[in-house]
Chain A
Amino acid sequence: DAKTTQPTSMDCAEGRAANLPCNHSTISGNEYVYWYRQIHSQGPQYIIHGLKNNETNEMASLIITEDRKSSTLILPHATLRDTAVYYCIVRETSYDKVIFGPGTSLSVIP
């Protein structure tokens, strides 16, 4: 079973920041938080990952709470092409099995 819980769906206005929350209250010290997204009918696409510190790349920012029990993926300026299902995953890098939950279906609205 997935070790994360996410809202089933969210809407975001085009051009605004999309903030996608994820709860992972049972995360262990050596588990990373990964985010992927799946645009309709395509393969999952890696977005970002982190352990303790906040991370930023060209796609998004990842904010992890100090207790590491939750995190937020931020898409700073959502576009229509960001409409997708977003998956939050926790995993040890030494363990290759990645368990996907149902994710959050994000709809970016014009």
Chain B
Amino acid sequence: DTAVSQTPKYLVTQMGNDKSIKCEQNLGHDTMYWYKQDSKKFLKIMFSYNNKELIINETVPNRFSPKSPDKAHLNLHINSLELGDSAVYFCASSSAGDTQYFGPGTRLTVL
């Protein structure tokens, strides 16, 4: 069974569009995260949520809005997509302070 899953796996869209990426974990964790890995392969944290409450927000543009409907889900909505948003986005989850487990990633390409 997949522990941390993301949909879609690939997302190709035009500049200016709005898109969402979904993440679900079945590990019973209370904390979830979004990371961005750019073309230079650096993996950077964007957000973390603990029990549906925003804990970390790493100066990400406000076009990015995470939404956590419940502890098992953390979705990422992106408005007015720009070329620089092209990257691989990874979701992760953990019990607070414990090891983080990552999803398979969503490759976003903005044309």
Contacts and interface: CB of A to CB of B under 8 A. Distances in A.
Given A43-B90, A44-B90, A96 B43 contact: no
A93 B97 contact: yes
A97 B104 contact: no
B83 interface: no
Contacts, number: 50
Interface residues of A, number: 21
Contact of A41 (B43, B45, B55, B105): B105
A30 to B, nearest CB: 11
Given A94-B97, A96-B55, A96-B56, A44 B43 contact: yes
Contacts of A94: 97
A98 B102 contact: no
Interface of B: 4, 31, 33, 41-45, 48, 50, 55-56, 58, 88, 90, 92, 94, 96-105
Interface of A: 34, 38, 41-46, 49, 85, 87, 92-100, 102
13 contacts: A34-B99, A41-B105, A42-B104, A43-B105, A44-B92, A49-B99, A93-B97, A93-B98, A96-B31, A96-B56, A96-B94, A97-B56, A99-B45
